[in-house]
Structure 1
């Protein structure tokens, strides 16, 4: 069975398949260190309660129909902070679908 070969990182290092380049690990750690806490970004106790209620009422992913584990803000908190806890702004999603949607819509 063939396996993936090594890849070339943007920094010029050859990286084994399935492993992150040390420069990517360092960049992520630096980015995370400068990121505000979840509560500061709007994911506090009221959000956790609204999320749990939404998932209890809507347990399936709106994109693929599998079990949802995340609640997406249709209009992001950054773009519509006043809709942060608005249930009409929620969509139940599985992690892969949420990742695709977020990458496509929010960059």
Structure 2
């Protein structure tokens, strides 16, 4: 049996498992504000040296640490939050596929 729709704060009826258009607009605006304050990738340490280290690490560790699929993302196990010692600590690196990184890993990072 399908689950019932819910009512958004704006008063719209939204099918189960979907988001209201107003929620999508608010999320995009919040993300734009966050990105405007966030340093660039290069300022956060993701430069040429990182890209070379990433390619080498993924060559040596080609499988996702979570599901075993081919890995294409080099992830920090513990978020470094700007700590360059932790950023370059190879024991804090793990290979992940994009799916695990974008879904499973990000969900666990948000709860920390």
Same fold per superposition (TM over 0.5): yes
The answer as to 2:86 corresponding to 1:86 is no
Query: Residues 7 and 15 of structure 1 are in contact (CA less than 8 Å); yes or no, is this contact kept in structure 2?
Result: yes
Aligned to 2:31: 31
Aligned to 2:11: 12
2-structure distance, mates of 1:56, 1:10: 48
Task: Report which of the two has the higher share of helix.
Answer: 2
Q: Over aligned residues, Cα RMSD in angstroms? A: 2.8
Aligned to 1:104: 108
2-structure distance, mates of 1:6, 1:91: 39
**Structure 2 portions without partners, runs of 5+:** none
2-structure distance, mates of 1:104, 1:26: 23
Give a deviation string over 1:53-81, Cα, whole Å, max 9, x none: 11111110011111111111012121743
Q: State the Cα distance separating 1:25 from its structure 2 match.
A: 3.3
2-structure distance, mates of 1:45, 1:67: 23
Aligned to 1:57: 60
Aligned to 1:44: 47
Q: Normalising by structure 2, what TM-score? A: 0.68
Q: Normalising by structure 1, what TM-score? A: 0.71
Change (3 A) 1:42 1:106: farther
Query: Residues 12 and 20 of structure 2 are in contact (CA less than 8 Å); yes or no, is this contact kept in structure 1?
Result: no
